[in-house]
């Protein structure tokens, strides 16, 4: 998870992995799956505004969205992805980045891109 704190400085959280499948989600369509992911985060990190993803599986998958629920003082933060995520060996930097719909600004985007490149 990538965040920008009140100081304007970006922070990168710890890597995390899929924890388990969600079996009863009424919004899932035919052939869709949902998974639990736990991010370590606290308010001092700032508002979650982006995340990056690596695919270590042999096959690609389609990532429709990521939703963070019950973020203190922010409620739900949604990342609309609509993108195929291929095995990490096919990317030079081995990651894909997605931004939240409600947080992203020009300065935030520059800060996140700087964090990733260094």
- pLDDT number for residue 111: 60
Whether 49 shows a pLDDT value over 90: the answer reads: no
* Residue with the larger pLDDT of the pair 11 and 105: 11
**Cα distance between residue 70 and residue 74, in whole Å:** 7
| Stretch (H or E) spanning 99 | strand 96-99
Closest CA to 74 of 100, 42, 47, 45: 47
What CATH number has the domain bearing residue 56?
Answer: 2.60.60.20
Q: What is the count of structural domains for the chain?
A: 1
Q: Tens digits of per-residue pLDDT, 81-100? A: 999 988 888 777 667 888 88
In this prediction, residues 19-41 reach a mean pLDDT of 83
Domain containing residue 96:
2-117
pTM of the predicted protein model: 0.74
Residues constituting the chain = 118
- pLDDT number for residue 109: 57
């Amino acid at each position: 998870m990538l965040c920008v704190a009140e100081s304007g400085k970006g922070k990168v959280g710890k890597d995390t992995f899929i924890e388990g499948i969600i079996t009863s989600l009424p919004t899932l369509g035919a052939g869709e799956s949902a998974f639990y992911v736990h991010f370590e985060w606290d308010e001092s990190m700032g508002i979650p505004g982006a995340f990056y993803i690596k695919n270590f599986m042999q096959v690609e998958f389609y990532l429709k969205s990521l939703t963070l629920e019950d973020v203190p003082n922010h409620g739900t933060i949604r990342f609309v992805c609509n993108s195929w995520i291929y095995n990490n060996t096919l990317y030079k930097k081995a990651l894909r980045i997605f931004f939240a719909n409600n947080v992203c600004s020009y300065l935030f985007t520059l800060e996140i891109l700087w964090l990733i490149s260094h």
